[in-house]
Amino acid sequence: MLEFGNLWVFLLLILFFICYKFCPEKRVAIYFPHFSMTKKLNSDFWLKFFIFTSILLALSNPYMKKEIIQTNKGDDIVLSIDSSGSMAQFNKFEFVKVAANDFIQKRKTDKIGLVVFGTNSFIASPLTENKKFVREILNKMYVGIAGQQTAILDSLVQSIRLLKNSKAKTKIIILLTDGVDNSSKVDLESVMKEIKKYKIKIYTIGVGGADEVNFNLLSYLAKNSGGEVFQALTPNDILPIYRKIDSLEKSKITHKLIYKEYLYIYPLLLAIVLLLVYVRRRV
């Protein structure tokens, strides 16, 4: 489809007609009869008109536009990972890193964000399609980086901050912890209100037995948001759980690419050729 960037420049044609009528040349043109190209032109008026019009056509910035629609499937996912002191037992945190890295690599068309929590919680990585960046940040995490205790609900607040402006059809938090919430400053009711408001699905993973992990809280978070709760009795169970979550439904993300081929060079070259013809005739 042919379009113009500056259609208004054609208004300058009015100046051409005004100038041609009221600004006559004082110099008489000398013609060369052997110059056959100019014999086809009836008068200087048309030559000047075509030169001026070609210049205006180039200035109008003509281009061919083509729209390409690309549709990819993808979710917006936040990995919320417990880094409290207890995650050092049985090397659990290192198992989580391996499993999370594997999960991130498999989610080719998703945006991934990262929240780490202990006594405090913080956003380690915003939602991004740059999986290498997220993995690099994850690999730099260590036990105790956010404190020794566990603030599960506070971590959800940080995760919601990443997802609340998301345009994805499916927004997911994958929460992993090996303990009970003993450090959060927010209450469960307030968190669930925000979860439902932004239609976020939570998948929870408890690492350990019922005497170590508050599965009542994890089940409540998952079931009331449309997610599921998983139990990893040993660190070796963490990887299979992340792989199971990898089968989550994917949403569609549409990208519109606009390809433009600029054509100003063609009328510009025509103007130059016609100008050379005009100069040759005036010599």
Contact (Cβ atoms closer than 8 angstroms) between residue 63 and residue 160: no
User: Confidence band (pLDDT; 50, 70, 90) for 141?
Assistant: very high
Q: For the chain, how big is the Rg over CA atoms in Å?
A: 34
Query: Tokens 């300058």 correspond to what residue?
Result: 12
Query: Tokens 């008489």 correspond to what residue?
Result: 28
Query: Any residues with CB less than 8 A from the CB of 181 and at least 6 apart, and which?
Result: 150, 151, 152, 153, 214, 217
Q: Where is average pLDDT lowest: 2-16, 82-96, 199-213?
A: 2-16
Average pLDDT over residues 224-242: 96
Mean pLDDT of the chain: 87
Determine the 3-state secondary structure of 277 from DSSP.
Answer: helix
Digit-coded pLDDT (tens) for 60-104? 888 888 877 666 667 899 999 999 999 999 999 999 999 999 999
Residues 47, 93: Cα–Cα separation, whole Å: 80
Tokens of 85: 């002191």
Instruction: Check residue 41 and give its pLDDT.
Output: 43
User: Confidence band (pLDDT; 50, 70, 90) for 42?
Assistant: very low
Provide the 10 A C-beta neighbour count for residue 25: 9
Q: Which residue has the higher pLDDT, 167 or 219?
A: 219
pLDDT at 171 over 60: yes
Residues 103, 77: Cα–Cα separation, whole Å: 11
Q: Which residue has the higher pLDDT, 278 or 265?
A: 265
pLDDT at 39 over 60: no
Ordered domains of the chain (ranges, CATH): 2-67+264-282 (no CATH), 75-250 (3.40.50.410)
- Strand arrangement of the beta sheet that strand 62-73 belongs to: 2-4, 62-73, 252-262
Tokens of 78: 């936040």
Digit-coded pLDDT (tens) for 252-266? 656 677 878 888 888
pLDDT at 148 over 50: yes
Average pLDDT over residues 134-143: 96
Q: Which residues of 174-194 are buried (b: 16+ CB within 10 A; e: fewer)?
A: bbbbbbebebbeeebeebbeb
